[in-house]
Structure 1
């Protein structure tokens, strides 16, 4: 199973992004500044927009979907239970996973944006797909729910999972690091070997690297553990 970007370029007016590389099975974090082109690349991979040039190839990938940053874009059910059923899921179970127990009959758009995001993420992570494309999956979530989503992503994720984000505080354990920098998608490689070359690393990782420590993965907990081992 593989996703291949073959000489892909995305362009509009004075902006251009070039992307080349192959995504193997695993969790891939694609970081980059706001406006660097993360959402555009995510949409192109999902087939929502055609690349200016190049090809996006799916090998042995039959089912894929995109989760956009704002959950309102996905919401079609008038009531919470209707929204959950539109995903082919059981309302009571998903409400429990999303922290919305007993709220199945509330209007979907009466939920706060954070609650709606929790509902959306619980629905999309309950499905079975070969490729899952997540554009800013942690936006509007409080730190505790970010951590919950991170744990769920790590323990139960589709074969190829792409996480496009500029999140700098709460991140999941991942297998590969990619980075959009100066108009190009860069493959930093497999974790943990890729961590020292990650230009947009969070400050806690930068501090560990400054002390000569490379954590096993990119979470705060991995970094704290690595720093503690240094003092043992």
Structure 2
């Protein structure tokens, strides 16, 4: 290759690289802040297998937000299949502490809905779900890697993990002015529910049930008295409404709850 062609090739590479960087920056910057506690539609892309709607929860074993949300998830998904779970309390050292919840261990679908859950950290937010210690300043980066690995094991599109990571670490929450992974201490992948189907993809990255309303209750009491907690009932209905929106033409195959 002569000198002139080499220079032309280098300039071409620089132009292409610049274009990619500008596009990526625009994509991130164009993601508007999202409201707390509500699902928002983030894409028209269907990330579910054909004829299905997927619900993907990202949490951690000691997460009080995930513990509180687990009741609403259970309240909905009991109509879509058979859940297996363990009764549990959230991290006793994390504020709020000892929130009753469910740790989901499996889901056997009897419907168009498939449910997946990825717990990225342990009970005390100092290690991975399988006990590998994580320095506090690496919780986000290591959590992202764990989430990507778990989503791959589930056989789901890598874009599921990409969306959860983007909307937890890059997209601000309107009420807080920063992303959900950054307004918590220490910063970490906090909590998210992603729902996707023929009509597109939806996400929430903040509490759908205030954990403090469950302080002082046992997991067995909450499980047997869900109707006594209006926030849980309302959050369950919000999840159901989002399933129906994401389902599009499949909505007629979803049960009424």
TM over 0.5: no
Structure having the larger proportion of residues in strand: 1
Instruction: Give the TM-score taking structure 1 as reference length.
Output: 0.29
TM-score normalised according to structure 2 size: 0.27
The structure having more radius of gyration, on CA atoms, is 2
Counting helix residues as a fraction of each chain, which structure ranks higher?
A: 2
| More contact order relative to length (CA 8 Å, sep ≥ 6) | 2
